[in-house]
Structure 1
Amino acid sequence: MSPDDALRMTRSLVNENGQAVAIRRYSGTGPARSYVDTATTAFVRNYGSKELVGAIVQGDQVAVVLVDTLAAILPVTTNEFLVVNSKEFAIKNPMKRVVGGVLIALEIHAKG
């Protein structure tokens, strides 16, 4: 599969099944710290019952986000949060989806 094909397929998945989400980045320390949300669209799903193993528990989320919508804040790290329907999920593992050496999307595993 070429990078263009992978991007087209991922873009179709997000466009057809996506929802509004944000990546929340906090600055400062303590209870008065501020944050900035970067709005985007992602394909978000819960883990299936057969995927609930090890550290993955019911309520955890997986989100596929196109990187072109996050270019200004890359890299996304475990210090940030995925916001879905106004609920924060701690980002545990932002994995890169790379095809033919081209970064297509991030697959974000989040706990909440």
Structure 2
Amino acid sequence: MPLTPQEIRDAYRDSLLRVGELNTDGTRAVAIRRYGGSGADRPFADVPVLARVVGYEAKELVDPIVQGDRRLIVYGPDLEDAGFSFPVRKNDKVVIRGKEVNIESPDDNTRRVAGVLIAIEMRVRG
């Protein structure tokens, strides 16, 4: 029998808790950052998320992917539960272990099941 979207969400959460980016105290070590306004001192909001950060293999370095880009798998319900204003956009930011990087290509379609957001895959740079 096929899994339900909720069962798949639960499996993703469990997997990301095992292999994702977590601080030593078990809190999420990745955050999606959205800036508001303009200027150097513009305000921002961070949403901590479960995420898996992986590099690209040499054979995957084909335009527009360049050396140093990374792929993130971000647990969608973390953003939903925080009231994040979808969609995640190109040029939103991700904070990985304290370093801000740029979202180059967010994809919230590939990891949907029956229309339910499970995870967002994104390419980041910086």
The aligned counterpart of 2:65 is 56
The aligned counterpart of 1:109 is 123
How far apart, in 1, do the equivalents of 2:60 and 2:69 lie?
10
The aligned counterpart of 1:27 is 36
Could you list the runs of 5+ residues in structure 1 that have no partner in the other structure?
Answer: none
How far apart, in 2, do the equivalents of 1:12 and 1:4 lie?
12
The aligned counterpart of 2:102 is 90
Q: Which one scores higher on RCO, CA 8 angstroms, separation ≥ 6?
A: 1
The aligned counterpart of 1:41 is 50
1:9-63, CA deviations, whole angstroms, 9 ceiling, x for partnerless residues? 3223211111110011111111121211111220111111111111111111111
Could you tell me the TM-score, scaled by structure 2's length? 0.80
C-alpha contact 1:28 1:34 (8 A) present in aligned 2: yes
Number of matched pairs: 112
The aligned counterpart of 2:24 is none
The aligned counterpart of 1:77 is 89
Could you list the runs of 5+ residues in structure 2 that have no partner in the other structure?
Answer: 22-28
1:79 offset after TM fit, Å?
3.4
- Across the aligned residues of Structure 1 and Structure 2, the Cα RMSD in angstroms comes to 1.5
C-alpha contact 2:32 2:46 (8 A) present in aligned 1: yes
Which structure 1 residue ranges, 4+ long, deviate > 6 Å from structure 2?
Answer: none
Greater share of residues in strand? 1
The aligned counterpart of 1:65 is 74
The aligned counterpart of 2:20 is 18
